[in-house]
Chains A and B, each alone.
Chain A
Amino acid sequence: MPQTYNIAIIGGGIVGNAIARELSRYELKTILIEKETEVSFGTSKANSGIIHSGIHDDPKTLKGKLCVAGNKLWEELSRELKIPFNRVGEILVARSESDIPILQNFIVNARTNGIPAEMVGERRLREMEPNLSKDIKAGLLASSAGVIPPYEMTYALYENAVQNGVEYLLDSKVTNITKDGSGFVIQAGSKEIRADRIINAAGVYADDIAKFVGADNFKINPRKGEEYLLDKRLDNINNHIIFPTPTPTSKGVLVIKTIENSTMIGPTADDIEDKEDTRTSEEGLAKILDFVRTMVPGIDKSDIIASFAGIRPVSNTNDFIIEESKAAPYFINAAGIQSPGLTAAPAIALMVVDILKNSGLKLQKKKKYNKYDKPHRRFSLASNKEKELLIKLNNSYGNVICRCETVTEAEVVAAIRNGAKTIDGIKFRTRAGMGRCQAGFCIHHVMKILSKELDIPEENITKRDGESNIVKEKR
């Protein structure tokens, strides 16, 4: 007889993990099911890390409401989970005279929604962003926008949820869901999971999951976005997140300031068929470069150190779909969570809790809930005094294994003890391999540590599970 859970969450991205962590406050038996070998390996691993102000979205939509609500929750959340968050602000720039009235309209909208926003003239704009194109004469500053490290955040939510009792079933693709009385039986990998309620946070696959119980009154259209990261040596090429003036259909291509103080450019927005198609393309790169150079002309192709692409789950309503299915009671969709999904994630989690309450679930707060995650010590961000203390505490902080990002052996070991199993899992948690040499110097160090900690031979170590082994055979 399989175990019965009060709640099963399907999907281990930022949304699934935010919900898991929120539910871990209550006396509930909760499980999160993820098809990949680690959480944050789907759309969330390609997130830009922007906490939007909400200025781009229509306040009448769920996207607009939850973006503004979510934005306000990030200070507290990042403090509790000990993840850096920086309100760097976003600037929407006018690339032509005709953009200025559009921006002024945005200001009016922003005021009604309580979003801080102001027009900025040429002189101040130049002071704030000295590398902006000379053709840009005005902009709109929305100071509440910020940046976080998106994968580290997803892992912190996961760690905190685990710490508070949420179970995780990884490497287990959901292949079927059947109704059983008022609850459900979920076929996940080789396991059968019984749950009273299901929360569908399956990202680009949310429609496929919903179809199992007839809750698929929507369709998810994958929309690819390519992004390119520039060498952090060029710090302060931009100081804010720079947007063009939006068109009715697009936020445009951005010059993003990351939490690491480096610059990222992108994304593209291409509707595609294949939900796994994360190829980058020559056309995508050309489009991005052409576009961002109209805003920051100094950006150069030779400064790119990494590229990637992610797939946004865009629903056919173009809005978030967060509701209990009418066709399948106790099955709650959290679907179509495209941008500003990261910003909205903590607000989505609260909304899901309300939906659960309204569906008759009794929520009782745990006596022993710990909202704080353990510290994620980053050697590179520590002062020399703190570095000394860290090495005294654990001398493997003295062993720098990733030169470009100054990541130590101790941080890699900690990542593995927190659940990392693969080279990518280590990279997303610690940044080892994310820098300009793209793991050339650190990969064999990381493989050795993984091999020792997990007690598996080095030739079995993979980039991200499956057939992605790093080396072919031992000699």
Chain B
Amino acid sequence: MKKLSVDIIVIGAGPGGMAAALKANEMGIKNILLVDRLPEPGGILQQCIHNGFGLQKFHKDLTGPEYADMYIKQLKNSNIQVLLQAMAIEITHNNRVILSNKADGLIEVGAKAIVLAMGCRERTRQQVSIPGTRPSGIFTAGVAQRFMNIEGYLPGKEVVVVGSGDIGLIMARRMTLEGAKVHAVTELLPYPGGLTRNIVQCLNDYDIPLYLRHNVIEIFGKDRVTGVKIADFGEEGNPPRKTFEVSCDTLLFSVGLIPENELSRMIPLMMNPLTGGPFIDDTFMTSKPGVFICGNAAFVNDLADYVSLEGEIAGVSAAKFALGNYQNDPRIPTVAGQNVRFVTPNFISRNDSATLYIRVKSPITDVRITSSKNIVHIVKKIVKPSEMIEIKLDKEMLKKIKALPASPSGGKEFRIDVGQE
């Protein structure tokens, strides 16, 4: 087996992996290997031809491929080795990565630090257990997006979108622009799963109806989808107050994303059931020293910009680790309090600055975000589960967090609550 030895290997060349590799390179690490299974870097960005990327990171309104290109240009001007069409098929317990590709066969890569940036995958029709037949014409929104934007095929003409995640909303608009008729977007919850800007720009602007508290409960059609049965659950929930049928030839599922962590489980890393990713600290190190993770593999982000920002942190940390000056400061666990689904990273260790991300359980207005000892105190008009909340911690705040007294249960912890004013 071909053997390679590098300082840092980054697995996945999407917005997180590219940012991590470049940042580590900037920190003075020369021997970096960035691998991806696709024939070009950029990951899912390449199929996201809509705009809205880069507002945070570059203060520009870019399309996905344009956003990717900002990094690809920098990669070309760096001495980072990029290996494409290579699949990481295994990570051994002693942190060796096995890659498979056509030209080299299997390659065993030894690295001082690993950055995992595998992104996420979409939840499927099967995982939300929708009964009925199993014809063609059923896609996850991202697969339809790939067919439309990369492969050059129209997946279908009469469309129902199940779930109101961002990719589903984007694809409702995209399919409409391509001449398809989108009959309905259904959402089981009383509020949409995607960003408000996508509800406005993708549905409202094109008169596509959004059915909240509705769900597809049966799929019809033998060869190809011929229709669906939709249930209106109203405020009372199950059983539905009425059902109706809609004819269609295509169903797009946008019912959630799952961090891709098959490799993480091989190592194995300790996994966080709330995010679907590994437990991480604010340097983006996992439970295994030298193994870092960023972006949607760690937890599902709303924007590619956040993914790149996390990639940069993971890149800096991996570089420090490879150089032998990574400091493992005392870690204080973060705790999800009232109305908080999760808070990540799971541990605070840095002294300079750190960012926490939280997702709330349900939408509320006139919000007060507070923490242990009131170190964080933010007032907001509205918070929604679909929009991740960023909490920046500066040097002063981190100092206070480190000085927190031990909780009654024993150790120190930093708890975040979201309540009404």
Contact = CB atoms under 8 A, between A and B. Distances in A.
A and B associate: yes
A470 to B, nearest CB: 6
Contact of B105 (A276, A285, A398, A437): A398
A473 interface: yes
Contacts of A280: 131-132, 134
Interface in B244-265: 249-250, 262, 265
B217 A437 contact: no
Given A399-B85, A400-B37, A444 B1 contact: no
Given A278-B134, A398-B105, A304 B127 contact: yes
A236 interface: no
Contacts of A392: 105
A437 B122 contact: yes
Contacts of A441: 121
Main secondary structure of the interface of B (DSSP, over half): mixed
A395 B135 CA distance: 34
Interface residues of A, number: 54
A382 B85 CA distance: 20
A306 B224 CA distance: 18
B411 to A, nearest CB: 30
B214 to A, nearest CB: 16
B102 A398 contact: yes
Contacts of A388: 1, 105-106
B146 A471 contact: no
Interface size class, chain B: 35 or more
Contacts of A307: 126, 129, 131
Interface in B137-164: 140, 142-143, 146-148, 150-157
Nearest to B261: A233
A437 B135 contact: no
Nearest to B147: A471
Given A276-B222, A438-B124, A466-B223, A473 B154 contact: yes
B351 interface: no
Nearest to B146: A444
Given A440-B121, A440-B122, A472-B157, A395 B102 contact: yes
Contacts of B90: 384
A76 interface: no
Interface string B210-244: 00000001100011100000000000000000000
Contacts of B143: 439-440, 443-444
Interface string A439-475: 1110110000000000000110011111111111111
B154 A279 contact: no
A279 B153 contact: no
Interface string A272-304: 000010111110110000000000000001101
B105 A458 contact: no
A44 B153 CA distance: 33
Contact of B87 (A400, A462, A473): A400
B420 interface: no
A413 interface: no
A28 B98 CA distance: 51
Q: Which of A388, A423, A465, A471 has the most CB of B within 10 A?
A: A471
Interface string B35-67: 001000000000000000000000000000000
A397 B103 CA distance: 10
A475 to B, nearest CB: 5
A304 to B, nearest CB: 6
Q: Which of B121, B131, B148 has the most CB of A within 10 A?
A: B131
B7 to A, nearest CB: 24
A282 B131 CA distance: 6
A109 interface: no
A69 interface: no
A406 interface: yes
A391 B1 CA distance: 11
B338 interface: no
Nearest to A408: B100
Contact of B155 (A276, A278, A464, A472): A472
Contacts of A162: none
Interface in A360-417: 384, 387-388, 391-392, 395-396, 398-400, 403-404, 406
10 contacts: A285-B129, A304-B126, A387-B106, A395-B102, A398-B101, A437-B124, A440-B143, A468-B223, A471-B147, A471-B156
Given A444-B143, A472-B249, 13 more contacts: A305-B126, A307-B129, A391-B102, A403-B262, A436-B121, A437-B122, A439-B143, A470-B155, A471-B147, A471-B151, A472-B155, A472-B157, A474-B152
Interface of B: 1, 37, 85, 87, 89-90, 98, 100-106, 121-122, 124-127, 129, 131-136, 140, 142-143, 146-148, 150-157, 178, 217-218, 222-224, 249-250, 262, 265
Across chains A and B, which 9 residue pairs bring their CB atoms closest together, nearest first?
A471-B153, A467-B223, A391-B105, A463-B136, A468-B223, A400-B87, A398-B102, A468-B136, A466-B223
